[in-house]
């Protein structure tokens, strides 16, 4: 079952204060730092295309994919006027294209949705196989600390003008999986319509991710406190990885 079917309807509204332009600028700073000038980019798990928009606006030849039809529909609305963008329905674990890319990117902790280590390795192998020699792969994760201590076993409530939701999280230390149980109430004229979502993210330690990258073939790997080039700290909540083929 696709976890984003209903969530796609409210995703952009919930993320309306999120600065995707800043994230795009950070990715371009990464390219500059590592002396890369990619023109042909693959974006994994593109969601509703909010980051994709900035790649499109800045002239990149962009292929982006997601597993959710509903997310892709929202992305199409944002991107259909760009001739340099291709939208495809694919899965991170086993995506397949008959071409290679100079850069592959993934944002917003999409990698945490891969719950099995073997699937994580297969994803990274797939990325490696789809990169040109010298190509760059950048992605982020919610840190182990964040999923266990900040989100795990906590309840969050938000009341917006047209959306009210509760977000209850349970962290299982035996599996390192955090279950997110979300209940939304959407205003429709004088009434509210309810729907529920269940999402799961795995908390990976940095060493586990680096090991999977090395197994996949990446020999040059770097980690940073996301949006900076600083070394992650014990309580860093979002960690960015950069791997070179």
Q: Show pLDDT as tens, one digit a residue, over the chain (245 residues).
A: 344 455 556 655 665 567 899 999 999 999 999 999 999 999 999 999 999 999 999 999 999 999 988 889 989 999 999 999 999 999 999 999 999 999 999 999 999 999 999 999 999 999 999 999 999 999 999 999 999 999 999 999 988 778 888 999 999 999 999 999 988 887 777 777 888 889 999 999 999 999 999 999 999 999 999 999 999 999 999 999 999 99
Query: Does residue 126 share a domain with residue 84?
Result: yes
Query: Does residue 94 share a domain with residue 65?
Result: yes
H or E segment to which residue 130 belongs: helix 117-130
Query: Does residue 193 share a domain with residue 212?
Result: no
> Residue 189's domain spans which residues?
145-202
Query: Does residue 159 share a domain with residue 172?
Result: yes
Query: Does residue 39 share a domain with residue 12?
Result: yes
Query: Does residue 160 share a domain with residue 104?
Result: no
Query: Does residue 83 share a domain with residue 27?
Result: yes
User: What total number of domains does the chain contain?
Assistant: 2
The answer to whether the Cα torsion of 168, 173, 176, 177 is positive or negative is: negative
Query: Does residue 88 share a domain with residue 40?
Result: yes
The model scores a pTM over 0.85: yes
The b/e string for 183-200 (b: 16+ C-beta within 10 A; e otherwise) is ebbbeeeeeeeeeebebe
- Give domain status of residue 3, yes or no: no
Query: Does residue 31 share a domain with residue 118?
Result: yes
CA–CA dist 203, 111 (Å, integer) = 10
CATH of the domain at 117: 3.40.50.150
């Amino acid at each position: 079952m696709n976890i984003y079917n209903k969530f796609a309807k409210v995703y952009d509204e919930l993320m309306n204060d999120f600065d995707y332009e800043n994230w795009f600028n950070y990715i371009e700073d990464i390219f500059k730092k590592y002396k890369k000038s990619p023109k042909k980019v693959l974006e994994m798990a593109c969601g509703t295309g909010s980051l994709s928009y900035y790649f499109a606006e800045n002239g990149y030849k962009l292929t982006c994919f997601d597993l959710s039809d509903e997310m892709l529909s929202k992305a199409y609305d944002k991107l259909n006027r760009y001739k340099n963008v291709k939208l495809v329905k694919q899965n991170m674990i086993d995506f397949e294209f008959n071409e290679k890319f100079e850069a592959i990117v993934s944002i917003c902790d999409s990698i945490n949705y891969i719950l099995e280590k073997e699937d994580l390795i297969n994803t990274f192998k797939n990325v490696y196989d789809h990169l040109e020699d010298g190509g760059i792969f950048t992605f982020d994760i919610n840190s182990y600390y964040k999923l266990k201590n900040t989100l795990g076993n906590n309840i969050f409530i938000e009341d917006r003008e047209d959306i009210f939701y509760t977000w209850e999280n349970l962290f299982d230390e035996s599996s390192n999986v955090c279950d997110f149980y979300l209940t939304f109430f959407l205003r429709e004229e004088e009434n509210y319509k309810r729907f529920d979502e269940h999402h799961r993210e795995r908390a990976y330690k940095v060493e586990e991710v680096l090991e999977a990258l090395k197994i996949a073939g990446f020999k040059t790997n770097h980690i940073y406190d996301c949006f900076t080039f600083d070394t992650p700290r014990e309580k860093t909540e979002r960690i960015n990885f950069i791997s070179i083929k």
